Structure 1
Amino acid sequence: MFTIALQQQQYKTYILSDETANSQLEVVPERGGIITRWRVQGQDILYLDAERFANPDLSVRGGIPILFPICGNLPENTYTHNGKQYTLKQHGFARDLPWVVTNQVTEERVSLTLVLNSSEQTRAVYPFNFQLAFTYKLQGNTLEIRQQYKNLSSTPMPFSTGFHPYFLTVDKTGLEFEIPSQQYQDQITKEIHPFNGTFDLNRDEIDFAFGQLTSQSTRVTDNTRKLRLTLDYDDIYSKLVFWTLKGKDFYCLEPWSAPRNSLNTGENLTVLEPEASFSTSVRFRADFF
């Protein structure tokens, strides 16, 4: 049985349930369209910093924030388009703006569709008309995020996109990684290192970008929680970023379509022609063993 309930917490929260599988998804449209909670077999898969989430002036650390129209940050938060300079903060604005629910499905599956339209506020920092439509689909132990990007402008629209999922862990030493890449760039030191499946997790901050991906799937096994997480992503996603902070009960494994600063460099940038649309998907699966 599939259901969608609406709760008025600090924000309106949509609760999607697959009751047969005992899995739930919580979505807060007005706080950046974010997924705040995903439970499988009654267990939380995601981490959420509740204090930061309660403060609208702070970015959310937790759940699955949406990255658009950039992933990462820009030098001095600026980029140039058609000879004009714009200011755009880290990871863009989609994770900070209210989204609107446009569709709910509870027959044979459960899903929720949210839309973000361009506005005067977005055009001031990103001079394009657009519409984003994201559908969160929950079935059993799998979460799928289907995305559609529409360029409603009269000129080509460049962007990158991604997700910043925070996965709950209580012991990082119990993590095993299957990341389909042979090297990563330390985004703090800018150094490139070979990757053989392990790295030192005992640092204050880890911010590694994996490129030259050889597969559209990655996996992390949390031996302490007896949880195996699989992330499948379409081929638009050219980077996987691993980020964590010492002393915090989370790690992030983020699919990005392009690296930092791609609005300036053009590297792996997606460019939509006027009136064109583009669809893609990522899928998360949580298996307990």
Structure 2
Amino acid sequence: MNKQYIQTNQSRLEVVPERGGIITSWQVQNQEILYLDEERFANPQLSVRGGIPILFPICGNLPDNTYTLNDKQYTLKQHGFARDLPWKSTQDQVTPEKASLTLVLSSNEQTRAVYPFDFKLAFTYQIEGNTLEIKQQYTNLSTEPMPFSTGFHPYFLTVDKTQLKFEIPGQEYQDQITKEIHSFNGDFDFNRDEIDVAFKQLSAKSATVTDHARKLKLTLEYDDTYSTLVFWTVKGKNYYCLEPWSAPRNAINTGEHLTVLKPQASHTATVRLTANFF
């Protein structure tokens, strides 16, 4: 597997273009920020648990994995196909302070069978200081308007979830399993087997998680493209996921916060992660 690295004097990023353009490791001051299940990653048949998978052209799953467009039914599996396809790396720029790598995914026969559009995605991963920035450009090369949602599914490494303190700009969340709405006071019940919740009414463009066990404060910033933050974790595993999504699950059917790109138009978006050790 062809791993690519970019490095500065403060941090190091590891990317595997052929496995969905995924970031598999991000180290700041020689400390790993991300979780990666290496065994699952070694098996291409299994979905990746770890790193920062890319979600496109949907986030989450669809009822029966299907959506309807112009009276035609299509099948898309959870989180779409971008995380499973090989991306091409096109350029990297490196100085001691700043380094970047650009990856491209273009539509092909395989994608058109499940998503009938011609598109080009170009993502630039840039590290500078203790910040990782992901700049994205989505281009519709079709003659029809192109609906999509997009997001990221970062797995953050943690050793003791009870030592995590959350500042999420939402008063309530929807439990993705029971569909119930709960008010949010900054805490999660980590005794549950699985936590899968979506914050849909966000009052700010950033969230922070302070991990007192690791002495690490993580800040996630996102632009207006992103309407939803999903928090997900599984009991007994050393990770939690805080995921910026442009739209909630099933948006391609409901239209909720869906991005619709005009023919030949482009849309840009940015997500930024900053890791501060204290």
- TM bin, normalised by shorter chain, reads over 0.9
| 1:41-92 Cα distance to aligned partner (Å, 9 max, x none) | 1110000000110000111000000000000000000000000000000000
1:33 corresponds to: 21
Matched ranges for 1:129-278 at <5 A = 129-278=118-267
Q: 1:94 aligns with which of 79, 82, 86?
A: 82
Q: How big is the shift at 1:199?
A: 2.1
1:60 corresponds to: 48
Q: How big is the shift at 1:103?
A: 1.1
1:74 equivalent to 2:62? Answer yes
Q: What secondary structure sits across from 1:124 in the alignment?
A: helix
Normalising by structure 2, what TM-score? 0.99
Q: What secondary structure sits across from 2:3 in the alignment?
A: strand
Q: How big is the shift at 1:106?
A: 1.0
1:15 equivalent to 2:5? Answer yes
Aligned equivalents of 1:152, 1:178: Cα separation in 2 = 39
Aligned equivalents of 2:17, 2:186: Cα separation in 1 = 36
2:33 corresponds to: 45
Aligned equivalents of 1:287, 1:94: Cα separation in 2 = 30
Which runs of 5 or more residues in structure 2 are unaligned? none
Aligned equivalents of 1:52, 1:199: Cα separation in 2 = 27
Which residue identity does 2:94 align to in structure 1? T
Aligned equivalents of 1:36, 1:199: Cα separation in 2 = 26
Aligned equivalents of 2:225, 2:267: Cα separation in 1 = 10
Aligned equivalents of 1:109, 1:141: Cα separation in 2 = 10
Aligned equivalents of 1:215, 1:221: Cα separation in 2 = 18
1:3 corresponds to: none
| 1:193-229 Cα distance to aligned partner (Å, 9 max, x none) | 0111112111100001001100000000000000000
1:118 corresponds to: 107
Which residue identity does 1:78 align to in structure 2? T
Which residue identity does 1:63 align to in structure 2? G
Normalising by structure 1, what TM-score? 0.95
Aligned equivalents of 1:98, 1:161: Cα separation in 2 = 17
Mapped contact 2:153–2:244 kept (Cα < 8 A): yes
Aligned equivalents of 2:153, 2:258: Cα separation in 1 = 18
| 1:162-217 Cα distance to aligned partner (Å, 9 max, x none) | 00000000000000000000000000000000111112111100001001100000
Which residue identity does 1:203 align to in structure 2? R
Aligned equivalents of 2:184, 2:227: Cα separation in 1 = 17
Mapped contact 2:76–2:114 kept (Cα < 8 A): yes
Q: How big is the shift at 1:121?
A: 0.1
Q: Over aligned residues, Cα RMSD in angstroms? A: 0.6
Aligned equivalents of 2:188, 2:182: Cα separation in 1 = 10
Which runs of 5 or more residues in structure 1 are unaligned? 1-10
Which residue identity does 2:26 align to in structure 1? W
Q: What secondary structure sits across from 2:143 in the alignment?
A: coil
The alignment covers a number of residue pairs equal to 277
Which residue identity does 2:169 align to in structure 1? P
Which residue identity does 2:45 align to in structure 1? D
Identity %: 73
Q: 1:284 aligns with which of 257, 263, 273?
A: 273
Mapped contact 2:58–2:249 kept (Cα < 8 A): yes
Mapped contact 2:98–2:129 kept (Cα < 8 A): no
Mapped contact 2:231–2:240 kept (Cα < 8 A): yes
